[in-house]
Structure 1
């Protein structure tokens, strides 16, 4: 017996059983064949190590910033017109470690094991180890790994690091030093103003143009201000970015600019560098859609509208949600966690949806919908949960 049914039959009550079943079904949705899908399922359980065998009757192995319910796995689908979506899985290999330091060391060991298996170098990561994996790290995460799954059974690999590891007050300093060490001197000064630097990411292995990516947090972002966030040459114009924000935030009814703002969960931007001179060559706008909808039915409708606007059939996203869970979208909130619009030099725009595993909890719908025009002092939803970084 082989295929998705066999994997789920072996471990239906464990974290590994749940997430590998979801992975196998998403592989079918994205066009990855059964043999490669089985390979990737084993990679996922190997990377999760002991927590893969943990019963789902137990609480999460540890609190994680990666998802709202502390599942140490998140999926995403990246769409372009006229082609199958790229499937990605983000994981925290050190989940369940006794300390943040041990968490990071476990993650680093998994990265190096993958490097040995697939023959890629970790020299850029090695250059940054003391900055992001100190002996007494701080912050909400240590090291995450993202795998972009593709035919052939060998994924593209990315690592995500925490700029606040040496203290939140040194995050900007840490990002600047990291960019300088990697040869991107002056890159930090091209970034837009923001309210923090939640992640720095590196492409490792077989990438045509490996990227260094810096993420910036933007609290209370007004829709009209989106046009000034991109720093890439020949990047998206203000109208495209504002239109994306209006659709995802539910402001496409003509809500005036001062009122059309993201005042619950913050918007993130990602700025990618592929060359050591000049500004960014890529820009992505990430909207935490789960904070601005009453339930996932609305999130699905808005995401489908964004996909259709960019010439992409939204039916694939609907199939992906069915692959993750049998629950109806209206019965929870957060299955679609983020929607992102990505631009890279020389490539068509991509729309990416970030999808939650919901291994431990489904956030209930809210009624009435979340406030989007909260007066000063209104409580916001917490920032932790679901990365939106693949």
Structure 2
């Protein structure tokens, strides 16, 4: 299917940057930003030379950030407090692209951004030699998340690949990363609660916030193949105060059932913060809604239902969808890629993840 037209794109063959820039501007405008210069500038830096590539030329690198190899994905975090954040998950692609070249380009982005915004890089430096070998394996080495709030400073989060030295070494890398960061009980907590089904539970990402806030997070993501809501509820019990019935409801409404989810897997994440040294402060469950609906119109209705049940402003969802694409929702699947539920002591809420669809729109009913 031809690619969709972004909210404000008017040229016949926009570049990747032009396409995603207009989507980002519309997302920011719909979420209370009075100035979108900072997000757009950082998006340009993140994309690098790949941003100047016309969409008609196709993706420069088969990135796994999005289904169609677009190297960015947008998300809107809707906190139960009413606060919002616009985020960009992205992979910096080298020129020429390649596994090692992409790492080098991403490190240059970090050098520039940390200097410009005063972002501390101690956590990155502590882990770099562990997760960034000379010959990285797997689908990626590391990605960035840029986090923007209307009245706050931009924040940066780094995602590392636990399987970057081979999947068999992922447990070793995760355990060592926690040790280096002084979180000596985190590995055991995570594995004892979320890694209990053998090869069906695997490490997906190891992520760190790059800031000095006491609530700055160290996050571990675990994929659960063919899992049920019971599996997610068991994993969530590692966090004090989590309501298991909300997790079950989330699966039932978003996934249409309590599982097993045999398409793309459910993903758990634990957030560890300095302010809560006794265990994970938050648990999040990520459900790849695109794998369990016929089209995006169905996905929209499911997400709206869940948001409305919990008093969230569901109109924010529609505004975000309009910001990213003008196409009829029933004409494709995957614009609403996945949804996460965040629970715990330091912030609860729902986040919707939106594909840019710069290169492709999967047809309705396509298994993703």
> TM-score higher than 0.5 here?
yes
Distance, in Å, in 2 between the alignment partners of 1:146 and 1:180 is 23
Distance, in Å, in 2 between the alignment partners of 1:199 and 1:82 is 27
Distance, in Å, in 2 between the alignment partners of 1:95 and 1:45 is 14
Structure 2: gaps spanning 5 or more residues: 1-5
> 1:297-336 alignment to 2 at 5 Å?
297-336=297-336
* Residues 349-379 of structure 1, C-alpha deviations (whole Å, 9 max, x = no match): 2100000000000011018xx6xxxxxxxxx
Could you say which structure has the greater relative contact order, defined with CA pairs below 8 angstroms and 6 or more residues apart?
A: 2
Q: Give the superposition deviation at 1:82.
A: 5.6
Cross-structure match for 1:272: 271
Distance, in Å, in 2 between the alignment partners of 1:151 and 1:10 is 29
RMSD: 2.0
Verify the 8 A CA contact 2:214 2:273 in the aligned structure 1: no
Range moving further from structure 2, 201-210 or 59-68: 201-210
Decide whether aligned partners of structure 1 residues 58 and 187 sit closer, same or farther in structure 2, where only a CA change above 3 A counts: same
Distance, in Å, in 2 between the alignment partners of 1:330 and 1:206 is 44
* Residues 258-287 of structure 1, C-alpha deviations (whole Å, 9 max, x = no match): xx3101110000111113843211110000
Distance, in Å, in 2 between the alignment partners of 1:99 and 1:12 is 25
For the pair 1:244 / 2:250, whether they are aligned, the reply is yes
* Residues 42-90 of structure 1, C-alpha deviations (whole Å, 9 max, x = no match): 2211221111110111011110110000000100011124625211111
Verify the 8 A CA contact 1:37 1:153 in the aligned structure 2: no
Match of 1:216 among 222, 234, 237: 222
Cross-structure match for 2:26: 25
Q: Give the superposition deviation at 1:205.
A: 2.2
Q: Give the superposition deviation at 1:225.
A: 2.7
Verify the 8 A CA contact 2:77 2:84 in the aligned structure 1: yes
Distance, in Å, in 2 between the alignment partners of 1:152 and 1:314 is 22
Distance, in Å, in 2 between the alignment partners of 1:264 and 1:100 is 27
Distance, in Å, in 2 between the alignment partners of 1:206 and 1:179 is 17
Distance, in Å, in 1 between the alignment partners of 2:81 and 2:342 is 17
Cross-structure match for 1:179: 178
Match of 2:209 among 198, 203, 208: 203
Distance, in Å, in 2 between the alignment partners of 1:218 and 1:96 is 35
> 1:283-294 alignment to 2 at 5 Å?
283-294=283-294
Distance, in Å, in 1 between the alignment partners of 2:241 and 2:304 is 23
Structure 1: gaps spanning 5 or more residues: 252-256, 371-380, 382-390
Cross-structure match for 1:115: 114
Distance, in Å, in 1 between the alignment partners of 2:94 and 2:323 is 24
Distance, in Å, in 2 between the alignment partners of 1:81 and 1:209 is 17
Cross-structure match for 2:3: none
Range moving further from structure 2, 139-148 or 219-228: 219-228
Q: Give the superposition deviation at 1:29.
A: 0.9
For the pair 1:83 / 2:89, whether they are aligned, the reply is no
Range moving further from structure 2, 74-83 or 224-233: 224-233
